[in-house]
Amino acid sequence: MSRPYPPVDYTGYLKVDQLTQLQKPKGEEYGTPVHDEMLFIVIHQVYELWFKQILFELDSVLEIFSRDRIAEQDMLHCSSRLERIIEIQKILVDQVKVLETMTPMDFLEFRDFLVPASGFQSAQFRQIENKLGLINRLTYNNKDYIESLCPMQQPTVRATESEPSLFTLLEKWLERTPLISDGSFDFWKSYKEAVEARQKDSREAIKTAGLDKATESSHLKNLEHMERSFESIFDKNEYEKLQKEGHWRLSRKALSAALIIHLYREEPLLQAPFRLLTQLQNVDENFTQWRHRHAQMAHRMLGAKMGTGGSSGHKYLRAAGERHKVFSDFFNLATFFIPKSHLPEIPQSLKAKIQFRY
């Protein structure tokens, strides 16, 4: 039987020979080999390979989300690819441990060889951030992060700043959710009534709980605070003011859709969107975890020394971990969830549209 394809072997297919020739410790070049430099190079290369795979998956999700309509089958593909990114991220966080088998003293043996190179110059990491939709990046030394990258890579990374990011495409997709513009259901009006009923019940519960005066007053204050928070999303102008001030990033229309998806996530048509929003939160959370883990490791290796790239070291990294989040709105959204028992009923006509019948 003739084979349609020529035979291949493991080494040739995977280019193992080339791959294993790519580790060139500076210590060997300078005639002062340092044992731990090999690990340092291998682990960075492994990270870059995983970044490559994340970009590959992310590009596919972006392509699907850039379409005017997303078919249910494609939602499944998006979810599977995001799930893969999430699993890779877990490895990214976990393998910091391998690097920590190198002690700070071992690191000092070759650290001077590296200046001014830094992970800050990882073009693939910056592309992932931009493609996800990171904005308002922290800077240090008043320099645009692009300037730190190798000149050849700068145009590719710059281009990802103006391409539609996952955040932007997701916002558009949420705005298209049919539920919020369905004539039979005025979501905000019904939700406001439901929230008011819930707040009334909570006030009653606090007043009849037999709490001491100080505790009662603290609970009531918290309730008033919640009422003001709710007002800020019920009122379109107030929401837009907060959005301009940077408290919210999503448009109010997109935020409404995300809220509806969470509240009514059990409805058959909302299950896939709910899974997707949850996965995006996981992706964001996992990168934050990686940033914190990496900052902790840098602290352990450097103490208060500055980074090879010129930042304040672990302090910069911690601050970036706090600030460099893309989907914070989805986290803040939980403030506005109320229990299922208090949710407004979806009208039957609309319910029929969002259920599958066999």
The binding site for ligand HEM (CB under 6 A) comprises 43-44, 47, 99, 107, 118-120, 122, 125, 294, 298, 301-302, 307-311, 313, 316-317, 320, 324
Q: In the complex with ligand HEM, which residue's Cβ is closer, 47 or 336? A: 47
Shortest Å, Cβ 45 to ligand HEM: 9
Q: In the complex with ligand HEM, which residue's Cβ is closer, 27 or 119? A: 119
Shortest Å, Cβ 82 to ligand HEM: 21
Amino acid 148 reads S
Q: In the complex with ligand HEM, which residue's Cβ is closer, 273 or 309? A: 309
Amino acid 24 reads K
Cβ(187)–Cβ(336) under 8 Å?
no
Shortest Å, Cβ 119 to ligand HEM: 2
- The sign of the CA dihedral 193, 195, 199, 201 is positive
Q: In angstroms, what CA-CA distances link 210 with 104, 318, 344?
A: 57, 44, 30
Q: In the complex with ligand HEM, which residue's Cβ is closer, 21 or 101? A: 101
Cβ(301)–Cβ(104) under 8 Å?
yes
Shortest Å, Cβ 199 to ligand HEM: 40
Q: In the complex with ligand HEM, which residue's Cβ is closer, 273 or 321? A: 321
Shortest Å, Cβ 143 to ligand HEM: 11
Q: Tokens in use for 69? A: 């309509």
Place of tokens 């590296």: 114
Q: In the complex with ligand HEM, which residue's Cβ is closer, 97 or 236? A: 97
Instruction: Residue 220: count other Cβ atoms within 10 Å of its Cβ.
Output: 15
Q: In the complex with ligand HEM, which residue's Cβ is closer, 256 or 311? A: 311
Return the SS3 of 169: helix
- Beta-carbon contacts of 320 under 8 Å, excluding residues fewer than 6 positions away, are 138, 291, 295
Q: Tokens in use for 343? A: 């949710």
The Cα–Cα gap between 267 and 145 comes to 44
Place of tokens 């599977």: 80
Shortest Å, Cβ 26 to ligand HEM: 14
Cβ(25)–Cβ(114) under 8 Å?
no
- Beta-carbon contacts of 146 under 8 Å, excluding residues fewer than 6 positions away, are 126, 154, 157, 158
Cβ(10)–Cβ(16) under 8 Å?
yes
Q: Tokens in use for 53? A: 């795979």
- Backbone conformation region of residue 313, classed left if phi is above 0, alpha if psi is from -120 to 50, else beta: left
Shortest Å, Cβ 34 to ligand HEM: 13
Shortest Å, Cβ 332 to ligand HEM: 22
Shortest Å, Cβ 23 to ligand HEM: 14
Q: In the complex with ligand HEM, which residue's Cβ is closer, 57 or 175? A: 57
Q: In the complex with ligand HEM, which residue's Cβ is closer, 145 or 188? A: 145
- The sign of the CA dihedral 116, 149, 316, 124 is negative
